[in-house]
Each structure stands twice: as structure tokens, then as C-alpha cells.
Amino acid sequence: MTNLYRLADQKARRRIVSFDRRELSRLLNLYSMRVASGEWRDYAIDFRPGMAIFSIFRHTAEQPLFAIAKVQGTGPNGGYMVYNGPRKLAHGDSLEDVLRVFDRKLRLLLG
């Protein structure tokens, strides 16, 4: 009736994905430039199984304008994606690739 579980196996399956110092620095640099221009006002970092998410808000009480996700993958850093609500705006193997979407002037469409 007793089941034995190897803790090492459990930890390997539940590997936490997080932004490293370089990635977080890059995200916060982009965020601070947009705060200075008045576009963004708040951010949040969430950790879900196999994923870390940097969410950007115009107002704290609203849904995030953008979400930048780092997902667990086969490469050393996994993959990155940028979302605007349910729409995927960019995906790639490096953070710099997906952040290029912010080089263009993005407009929110209401309606």
C-alpha cells in the first residue's frame, strides 16, 4: 500500500522557469522607457508551471496590455512570446527577437 516517490524526479518535472538577471534587466529597461513616455504604468511577474510571464499594464486595475512569456523548451533558454490579450504578436528563440515588436509603434484597437 505504500508508494515510494523519488523527490529528485518530482523536482525535475516541476522545474521553475524564471527570467535571469540579463533578461530581467532588458525587460525593465524597456518598461522604464515606456513609463517615462507615459504609455505604461505598472508591471507584474507571474510564474506558472513551465512558464514565466512579465505583464505590462496601463492601469493597475485593468487587464495587461502586453504579456511577455518565457516558456520551458528544448533549448537552453526555451522560447519567448509576446501577447496582446489573446493575440500572439511575436515568438522566437531569444528575448531580443520578440522584443523587436516594441520597436514598431503599436496601437491598441478598441472595439
Pairing assessment for the beta strands 87-92 and 66-71 based on DSSP bridges: unpaired
Say which residue the cell 514565466 belongs to: 52
Per-residue pLDDT, 80: 95
Give the global pTM. 0.78
Per-residue pLDDT, 77: 62
Q: Is residue 1 part of a domain?
A: no
Domain hosting 78: range is 15-102
Q: Is residue 96 part of a domain?
A: yes
Q: Is residue 29 part of a domain?
A: yes
For Cα atoms 47, 5, 78, give the angle at the middle one, nearest 5 degrees.
Answer: 30
pLDDT tens column, 60-71: 778 999 999 999
Q: Residue 5 above 60 pLDDT?
A: no
Q: Is residue 30 part of a domain?
A: yes
Q: Is residue 48 part of a domain?
A: yes
Give the number of domains in the chain.
1
User: Cα–Cα distance between 43 and 19 in angstroms, integer?
Assistant: 14
Q: Is residue 109 part of a domain?
A: no
Q: Is residue 110 part of a domain?
A: no
CA dihedral for 53, 56, 61, 63, sign (positive or negative) = negative
Q: Taking residues 34-59, report their average pLDDT.
A: 92
Per-residue pLDDT, 53: 96
